[in-house]
Amino acid sequence: MNKNDLHFSEMGRDGSVRRPYLQYENWLAQQQNEQLSKKANDAEAFFRQAGITFNVYSDTDAEERLIPFDLVPRIVSNREWAKLTKGLEQRIRAINAFLHDIYNRQEILRAGVIPTELIAQNDAFLPEMMDFTPPGGVYTHIVGTDIVRTGEDDFFVLEDNARTPSGVSYMLENRETMLQMFPELFSKIRVQSVSDYPKNLRRSLAACAPACANGRPSVGVLTPGIFNSAYYEHSFLADQMGVELVEGHDLRVVDGRIAMRTTCGYKNIDVLYRRVDDEFLDPLTFNPNSMLGVPGIMDVYRAGNITIANAPGTGVADDKAIYSYMPEIIQFYTGERAILKNVETHRCSEPQSLQYVLDNLADLVVKEVHGSGGYGMLVGPAANKRELADFADKLKARPSNYIAQPTLSLSTVPIFTEKGLSPRHVDLRPFALVSPNGVQIAPGGLTRVALTPGSLVVNSSQGGGTKDTWVLED
């Protein structure tokens, strides 16, 4: 038996097709493999022509790569999506309340719900944000939450991305590619549109503008520059929103405001969607060697004269040790049980948990608390004895730097191969916009897929690909 047969197949198996895929499967049965192969090649050519690439920092030559795109969509029913969005909204509201609390009254620490040292000793916690509330009370303007599925109704949050979540441009380009290649499919199957995301993003950011904004708020996207791994996304979103893409050297403080250099002089910016990490945002406040940020922007920010999205210091909510307390955090701020479940998490900072992890390392996934992109992690079942031994030494040396989780039986969705359809593991990153007007979640998100048979690693930096995600209208 193929080991993928042990996992929940979202399309169905053994000739039984799940309801969300019925119309698609009927269409697929009428297609020829040769024609689909040609479409796959066309999709790659489209991505290459559009310049949809990312940089891999670990590569010696900082190689630019195409993100592999699979043409079999991941399909979610309206009922499934309604459950997910309800849980996501609850979680995002709790995260915003948590961030406001830890940077102000710190009631959750006083109540002993989470240990004080998890905040006090957290590199992502910024004392500079204490006793300050961002315009509109919003900390996480854009949130990307990683979801995995293990069964028909079993969804888990794998991690929260509240700092500078990436990938939404691939969600939009994947849909555009599918619309170009298979227009007839979208006339047969009613799929909710994601094309209005850039318009909604601009509107949501503008709704968070500071009180000093006059008329239509001015919005800009702050990028570290062309060598950043996500530069394509920065330029894409700025273009799609119809706003300026700026680098740190394009901005300066003018009369207590952040102003952008233009051919007509300096023009004020009200909202800055920044894709620069906290450390490099303001050399006068953080890293003095930074050439990427804007000197003095934190003073302007704390004076209430600009909105920075996402707010500095939100990265503390991405911490995987904090993640392990999310059910308690949700209960504390909402009075409700978490709708979406966490993955069971062992905090290696706790001696008993550390011993359990060391004893069961071959069966666990171990991650750095501040890690991202699939780097710095160990997938126990896929590791050899030497790798396990080396990682055990890392755990013993810095236990508080790691958490561990069981290896979940992730769901599979077929990908198209030369030999036909073949199951691969997937996760999902839905994108939410937060403003004083509420939480708005794009219907779909970015499905990342492990292209290697049996692999659980879906990150593009580790060789994963992407799929279009369809949320059906009914």
Domain boundaries defined on the chain: 344-407
Q: Which pLDDT belongs to residue 29? A: 92
pLDDT winner (highest mean) among 67-76, 178-187, 198-207: 198-207
Q: Hey, how many other C-beta atoms are within 10 angstroms of the C-beta on 414?
A: 22
Hey, which residues does 423 pair with through a beta bridge? Answer: 414
Hey, which residues does 413 pair with through a beta bridge? Answer: 424
Angle 143-145-149 (CA atoms, 0-180°, nearest 5)?
160
Residue type, 446: L
pLDDT surpassing 60 at residue 266? yes
pLDDT surpassing 50 at residue 459? yes
pTM strictly above 0.85: yes
Place of tokens 């593009």: 460
Phi and psi for 411 in degrees, rounded to 5?
-65, 160
Q: Domain 344-407: give its CATH code.
A: 3.30.1490.270
> Cβ(272)–Cβ(306) under 8 Å?
yes
| 24-33, 84-93, 451-460, range with the lowest pLDDT | 451-460
Residue 211: both structure tokens together: 């009180």
Read off the pLDDT of each residue in 312-332 and give the average, rounded to a whole number: 95
Query: Rounded distance, CA 367 to CA 371, Å?
Result: 7
Q: Hey, how many other C-beta atoms are within 10 angstroms of the C-beta on 175?
A: 21
Q: Is 448 helix (H, G, I), strand (E, B) or coil?
A: strand
Q: Maximum distance among all alpha carbons in the chain? A: 70
- Per-residue pLDDT tens over the stretch 374-385: 567 898 888 899
Any idea what DSSP says for residue 130? T
Q: For 90-230, where are the E strands, in sequence order?
A: 142-151, 154-161, 219-222
| CA atoms in the 13 A half-sphere facing the CB of 308 | 30
Q: Which pLDDT belongs to residue 316? A: 95
Q: Is 101 helix (H, G, I), strand (E, B) or coil?
A: helix
Place of tokens 């730097």: 401
- Per-residue pLDDT tens over the stretch 243-264: 999 999 999 999 999 999 998 8
